[in-house]
Amino acid sequence: MSQNGKKAVKIRATRKNSAAHLHDKQSERDTRELRIDKVGVRGLRFPIQVRDKARSVQNTVATIGMFVDLPKEFKGTHMSRFIEVLNAHGSVIHVENINEILHALRKKLNAATSHLEIEFPYFMVKRAPVSGGKGVMDYTARFDATAMNGEVDFVLTVKANVTTLCPCSKAIAKYGAHNQRGEVTVAIRSRKIVWIEDLIAMIEGAASSELYALLKRQDEKAVTERAYENPVFVEDLVRNVALRLNADARVNWYKVEAENFESIHNHNAYACIEKG
């Protein structure tokens, strides 16, 4: 064997011996007798692919959290293993792989439960109501999934901004009514697939007016007049969305939240309905 070959063997042996003597602190026994419900990594940015309702693939970037439970006898979990599981599924996460990732987490970390949270911007092309001009709107979507006892619990959350016009202001003001941008958050559990677009449509249809990325003067006139003709309180907003969800046989649980960023008050208005 050459001198270089001998050196390479010696280096590998040294590394192997060093690794063998590294102490596994996380696996030490903990004496506090307290189980941890969720432990893992959060704030990880990773590319994902999501299918939209037209069955085309949308590429976006998600902020990811991955967690497992930790039995009371263990001091800590092995954080690197979460990243190993994620990377084992390729350089891009496909939403269809969520169940596989959850089960891989349980197996890799010898856990009873595993959790995955994925939040990402979701984009749709919208046409202005009169001119027909195209603009790209962004929304926020989120998947929360938990695997436990052979079952997977999945929650879809969508956030969308809307316009609301105050019914009280319209009733008492001589020259107009104040309006504001509102943020509506809808979380659901469903028996069948509910598309992100479906929830966006429910939210936007429940408000005084939906928002647009591009508005010409004739569009602005149409949007403001539509809002004036359709005033809603924040209470109306959550009720309107809830009625649409009640009528959808696919949905078996939901939580609807609305927050209006008030234009004439130094506070926000908030309402929430949960069912299921």
Residue 226, domain member (yes or no): yes
pLDDT at 24: 61
Q: Which of 147, 125, 248 lies closest to 193, judged by CA?
A: 248
Both 155 and 87 in one domain: the answer is no
143 and 209 share one domain: yes
Would you say 179 and 165 are in contact if contact means Cβ atoms under 8 Å apart?
A: yes
Greatest Cα pair distance, the chain, in angstroms, is 97
Sequence-separated (6 or more) residues with CB below 8 Å from residue 13 = none
Report yes or no on 18 lying in a domain: no
Asked if 81 and 140 sit in the same domain, the reply is: no
User: Same domain for 57 and 155?
Assistant: no
In a domain, 229, yes or no: yes
**Same domain membership, residue 185 and residue 267:** yes
- Quick check: is 200 in a domain? yes
In the listed set 120, 155, 178, which residue is the last one of a domain according to the structure?
Answer: 120
Same structural domain, 110 and 140: no
Last residue of a domain, one of 91, 120, 149: 120
Give me the pLDDT at residue 222, please: 97
Provide the number of structural domains found in the chain: 2
What's the pLDDT score for residue 205? 97
Q: So what's the pLDDT on residue 190?
A: 96
Identify whether residues 115 and 30 lie together within a single domain: yes
Q: Are residues 110 and 217 in the same domain?
A: no
66 located within any domain? yes
107 and 167, same domain (yes or no): no
Residue range(s) defining the domain that contains residue 95: 25-120
One domain, residues 108 and 138: no
* pLDDT mean for each 10 residues of the chain (276 residues): 58 55 65 85 95 86 95 80 92 89 93 96 96 96 95 97 96 93 97 95 97 97 96 97 97 98 94 94
Residues 205, 183, single domain; the answer is yes
pLDDT at 26: 62
Tell me: do 154 and 257 sit in the same domain: yes
Domain boundary among 85, 120, 155: 120
Q: How far apart are CA 32 and CA 74, in angstroms?
A: 10
What is the C-alpha separation between 188 and 183, in angstroms, rounded?
Answer: 17
Q: What is the pLDDT of residue 70?
A: 86
CATH number of residue 49's parent domain: 3.10.270.10
208 is a domain residue: yes
Q: Is residue 5 part of a domain?
A: no
**What pLDDT score does 91 carry?**
84
10 in a domain, yes or no? no
